[in-house]
């Protein structure tokens, strides 16, 4: 035996020390069901002492129960598994403190179809999954709220038209139908945003980029938004502007979200400027508003899903989509203070194909 210190069960102390650095719990046992290793994380989840657990029976250490009070060992019976079983997939159990513990297991065989000679169990706290479940519930609640608002308007006006058609004037009918149409557009846009978010999250965003004129695309967006708002929007374009490599629809979506966000959250004039990038071929799109600005500590949160501030409304998806679509083209988004107060959002968009692999 080497000079390295060993415990009575033969497990090298160095192995235990390394296992303690692993973020999840590790529990190992022999064919006879004797515990040979238990790291600090596993001991904490099981409510036992890692030193005292060594050499104890497996079922005395892995004291996990399901909702019906059955034990992990009694349900899974790993040492009686048929020869083709290599492991046990993730399961949810409760420890002695009533906390959720997630387990996975690997069965060790000396021969591919031989008997089980050992078992390694991975242990992980279920708090992370509980947090994810809460976040998903919050997401569903937020989406439901955003969808319900325009749907309520559509339902109300359609019901009024059906019940009072003969009593309404043509102007009243037209006004109601225009409102229904606007709410339907809002629903369609929200659904499109949700689909874009899903594609960005899963890496399934489809792009059809080509060399495009940023001046033409931005000009169309500014003209369209300006026609539907009383707020002033100025557009300044630097001479000799290079083209951008972009999917025109996605580029238009980014600029639309930027300008509409500036109108929604700002006050007074909205300024849009296009200029060549100083460090590489490309275009910088700068949108300034005259609102309250965005505090430095909140600027990262702006690009998270469903983040909103104040009572300005909106789905909270616009800036998340701006960041996702820009990065998908190899660009980047930054937020600063506008010179005259308010927020300045800058998008650097390359002229070359710099899309991530």
Identify the pLDDT of residue 67: 83
pTM for the predicted model, two decimal places: 0.60
Q: What is the CA radius of gyration of the chain?
A: 30
Closest CA to 146 of 197, 216, 80, 203: 197
Identify the pLDDT of residue 5: 36
Identify the pLDDT of residue 312: 53
- Residue 133's pLDDT band (cuts 50, 70, 90): low
Whether the pLDDT of residue 190 is over 60: the answer is yes
- Arithmetic mean of pLDDT, 252-270: 88
- Residue 231's pLDDT band (cuts 50, 70, 90): confident
pLDDT digits (tens, 9 = 90+) for 209-219: 999 999 999 99
Mean pLDDT, the chain, rounded, equals 86
- What domains, with CATH codes, occur in the chain? 13-125 (3.30.450.20), 130-202 (1.10.287.130), 210-350 (3.30.565.10)
* β-sheet bridge partners, residue 288: 271, 344
- Residue 6's pLDDT band (cuts 50, 70, 90): very low
Identify the pLDDT of residue 14: 60
Identify the pLDDT of residue 196: 86
Beta strand pairing call for 116-125 and 270-276:
unpaired
Closest CA to 86 of 123, 61, 114: 114
Closest CA to 273 of 322, 215, 324: 215
- Residue 313's pLDDT band (cuts 50, 70, 90): low
Whether the pLDDT of residue 130 is over 70: the answer is no
- Residue 327's pLDDT band (cuts 50, 70, 90): very high
CA distance 230 to 291: 16
Identify the pLDDT of residue 284: 97
Whether the pLDDT of residue 27 is over 90: the answer is yes
CB atoms within 10 A of CB 29: 25
3-state secondary structure labels for all residues of 93-126 = EECCCCCEEEEEEEEEECCCCCCEEEEEEEEEEC
pLDDT digits (tens, 9 = 90+) for 31-81: 999 999 999 999 999 999 998 999 999 999 999 998 888 999 999 999 888
- Residue 150's pLDDT band (cuts 50, 70, 90): confident
Identify the pLDDT of residue 15: 59
Task: Burial-class residue 166 by CB neighbours within 10 Å (0-12, 13-18, 19+).
Answer: exposed
Identify the pLDDT of residue 300: 81
**What number of helices (H) and strands (E) belong to the chain?**
10, 12
């Amino acid at each position: 035996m080497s000079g390295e210190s060993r415990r009575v069960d033969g497990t090298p102390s160095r192995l235990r020390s390394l296992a303690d650095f692993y973020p999840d719990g590790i529990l190992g046992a022999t064919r006879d069901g004797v515990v040979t290793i238990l790291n600090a994380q596993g001991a904490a989840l099981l409510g036992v002492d890692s030193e005292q657990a060594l050499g104890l029976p497996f079922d005395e250490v892995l004291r996990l129960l399901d909702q019906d009070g059955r034990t992990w060992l009694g349900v899974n019976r790993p040492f009686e598994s048929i020869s083709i079983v290599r492991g046990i997939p993730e399961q949810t159990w409760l420890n002695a403190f009533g906390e959720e513990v997630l387990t996975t297991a690997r069965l060790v065989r000396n021969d591919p179809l031989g008997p089980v000679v050992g078992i390694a169990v991975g242990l992980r706290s279920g708090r992370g999954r509980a947090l994810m479940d809460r976040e998903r519930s919050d997401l569903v609640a937020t989406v439901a709220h955003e969808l319900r608002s325009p749907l309520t308007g559509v339902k109300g006006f359609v019901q009024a038209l059906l019940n009072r058609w003969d009593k309404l004037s043509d102007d009243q009918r037209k006004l109601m139908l225009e409102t229904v149409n606007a709410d339907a557009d809002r629903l369609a846009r929200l659904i499109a945003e949700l689909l874009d978010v899903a594609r960005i999250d899963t890496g399934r965003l489809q792009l059809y980029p080509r060399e495009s004129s940023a001046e033409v695309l931005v000009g169309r967006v500014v003209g369209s938004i300006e026609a539907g708002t009383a707020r002033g929007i100025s557009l300044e374009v630097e001479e000799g502007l290079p083209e951008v490599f972009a999917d025109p629809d996605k580029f238009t979506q980014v600029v639309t979200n930027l300008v509409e966000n500036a109108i929604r959250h700002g006050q007074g004039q909205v300024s849009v400027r296009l200029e060549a990038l100083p460090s590489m071929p490309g275009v910088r799109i700068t949108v300034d508003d005259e609102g309250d600005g965005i505090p430095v500590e909140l600027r990262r949160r702006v690009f998270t899903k469903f983040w909103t501030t104040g009572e300005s409304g909106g789905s909270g998806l616009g800036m998340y989509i701006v960041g996702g679509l820009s990065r998908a083209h190899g660009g980047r988004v930054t937020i600063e203070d506008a010179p005259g107060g308010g927020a300045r959002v800058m998008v650097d968009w390359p002229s070359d194909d710099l899309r991530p692999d």
